[in-house]
């Protein structure tokens, strides 16, 4: 790579946008030290904290979404949009990027619009099976669109689509730990089946309440539990010899290695990690997710017999029984594990970076 390349990566708002963006940035840096990367996010959103912690510079735009619960709060929206477009234009003009990458979220709209206006090549990365509004709008002028699910022609021009998958943390892909070591880390037995419960970093209240009510039934059925509750749920239980219960699991590579089956929300990254680790899973989509995209993510697997689905509204009645039934059905576990492998894309970050570099 003879000349120094400059890349803007824009978007955020949730971990599902931010962590793929950081994975792409890390892969770019691994290719050459002669690449300069600038992130553009939304003021007050989590990317303004997470991106600097990952070692990258970020600029914040005053952009915000439409507040559907309080229409008066939207009076400032036109001014925020205009100021964001101005700042994005200034950033593009000053930084002079060779390419701009949009990962979804408020900030990517103004940034990629101004990049297109200035003649900069753009690439989109869509994490979900149901495309977000911002990416759908930007797709008309994007050069390439990297997607994580098949059949995305419903949202994007087919000639621009590249099926790359979602970038995930390298430790999950590259972990060399054994199941024995993973179980020992969590203080659990090698002789029991292990259930992993993850509801995202904030936890999932409906899942948590169902597990709290049914934990003794799960244990009686021979299951031991690794349970990430999130910081906002205070379980009546504490970790014991049968279970490991904590607000947050930092060693997710070990959690996946230890688990025989999993219960999870259906966010893009969680689904991608379950695919990569081939876990027989019960998915409980978050019904309030934008455009119900978590249900779409889950159904992409369910329709291929690659995962089971329990609706959020049915969790209290069905989740524990469905889990015990799955744990006792080794044939179904094998079927789900084999089918979910087809969705795994372990080289997603590499393939996306290849597309970026091909543009410039």
Q: Which CATH architecture has domain 171-343?
A: 3-Layer(aba) Sandwich (3.40)
Q: How many CB atoms lie within 10 A of CB 306?
A: 25
Q: Is 327 labelled as part of a ligand binding site?
A: no
Q: Which CATH architecture has domain 5-166+347-359?
A: 3-Layer(aba) Sandwich (3.40)
Are 127 and 30 in contact by the 8 Å Cβ rule? The answer is no
Q: Is 270 labelled as part of a ligand binding site?
A: yes
Burial class (CB within 10 angstroms; exposed 0-12, middle 13-18, buried 19+) of 8: buried
pLDDT of residue 5: 94
pLDDT of residue 37: 98
Place of tokens 């510079």: 57
pLDDT of residue 319: 98
Q: What is the pLDDT of residues 202-231, one digit of tens each?
A: 568 899 999 999 999 999 999 999 999 887
Q: Is 271 labelled as part of a ligand binding site?
A: yes
Residue-level pLDDT, tens digit, the chain, 360 residues: 557 899 999 998 888 889 899 999 999 999 988 999 999 999 999 999 999 999 999 999 999 876 666 767 677 778 889 999 999 999 999 999 999 999 998 899 999 999 999 999 999 999 999 998 899 999 999 999 999 998 899 999 999 999 999 998 888 888 889 999 999 999 999 999 999 999 865 568 899 999 999 999 999 999 999 999 887 787 777 767 789 998 888 899 999 999 999 999 999 999 999 999 999 999 999 998 877 889 999 999 999 999 999 999 999 999 999 999 999 999 999 999 999 999 999 999 999 999 999 999
Q: Is 159 labelled as part of a ligand binding site?
A: no
Q: Phi and psi at residue 51, in whole multiples of 5°?
A: -65, -50
Q: Is 128 labelled as part of a ligand binding site?
A: yes
pLDDT of residue 277: 95
Q: Is 41 labelled as part of a ligand binding site?
A: no
pTM: 0.86
Q: Is 241 labelled as part of a ligand binding site?
A: no
Q: Is 169 labelled as part of a ligand binding site?
A: yes
Q: Is 269 labelled as part of a ligand binding site?
A: yes
Q: Does 171-343 match 5-166+347-359 at the fold level?
A: yes
Q: Is 354 labelled as part of a ligand binding site?
A: no
CA distances for 360 relative to 1, 26, 228, angstroms: 11, 18, 42
Break the chain into its structural domains and give their ranges. 5-166+347-359, 171-343
């Amino acid at each position: 790579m003879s000349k120094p390349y400059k890349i803007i990566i824009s978007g955020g708002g949730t971990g599902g946008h931010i962590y793929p963006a950081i994975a792409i940035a890390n892969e770019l840096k691994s290719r050459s030290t002669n690449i300069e990367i600038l992130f553009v996010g939304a003021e007050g959103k989590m990317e303004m904290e997470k991106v600097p912690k990952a070692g990258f510079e970020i600029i914040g735009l005053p952009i915000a979404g439409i507040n559907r619960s309080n229409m008066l709060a939207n009076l400032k929206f036109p001014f925020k949009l205009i100021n964001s477009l101005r700042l994005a234009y200034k950033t593009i003009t000053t930084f002079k990027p060779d390419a701009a990458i949009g990962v979804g979220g408020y900030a990517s709209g103004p940034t990629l619009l101004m990049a297109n206006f200035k003649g900069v090549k753009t690439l989109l990365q869509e994490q979900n099976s149901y495309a977000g509004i911002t990416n759908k709008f930007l797709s008309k002028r994007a050069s390439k669109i990297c997607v994580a699910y098949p059949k995305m022609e419903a949202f994007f021009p087919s000639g621009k689509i590249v099926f790359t998958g979602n970038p995930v943390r390298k430790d999950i892909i590259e972990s060399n730990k054994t199941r024995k070591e993973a179980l020992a880390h969590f203080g659990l037995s090698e002789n029991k089946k292990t259930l992993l419960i993850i509801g995202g970093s904030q936890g999932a209240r409906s899942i948590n309440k169902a597990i709290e009510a049914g934990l003794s039934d799960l244990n009686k059925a021979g299951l031991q539990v690794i349970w990430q509750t999130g910081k906002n749920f205070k379980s009546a239980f504490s970790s014991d010899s049968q279970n490991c219960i904590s607000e947050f699991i930092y060693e997710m590579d070990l959690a996946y290695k230890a688990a025989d089956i999993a219960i999870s929300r259906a966010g893009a990254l969680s689904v991608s990690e379950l695919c990569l680790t081939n876990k027989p899973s019960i998915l409980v989509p978050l019904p309030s997710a934008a455009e119900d995209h978590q249900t779409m993510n889950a159904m992409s697997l369910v329709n291929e017999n690659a995962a089971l689905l329990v609706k959020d509204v049915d969790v209290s009645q069905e989740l524990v029984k469905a889990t015990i039934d799955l744990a006792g059905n080794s044939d179904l576990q094998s079927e789900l594990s084999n089918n979910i492998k087809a969705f795994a894309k372990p080289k997603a970050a590499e393939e996306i970076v290849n597309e970026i570099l091909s543009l410039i």
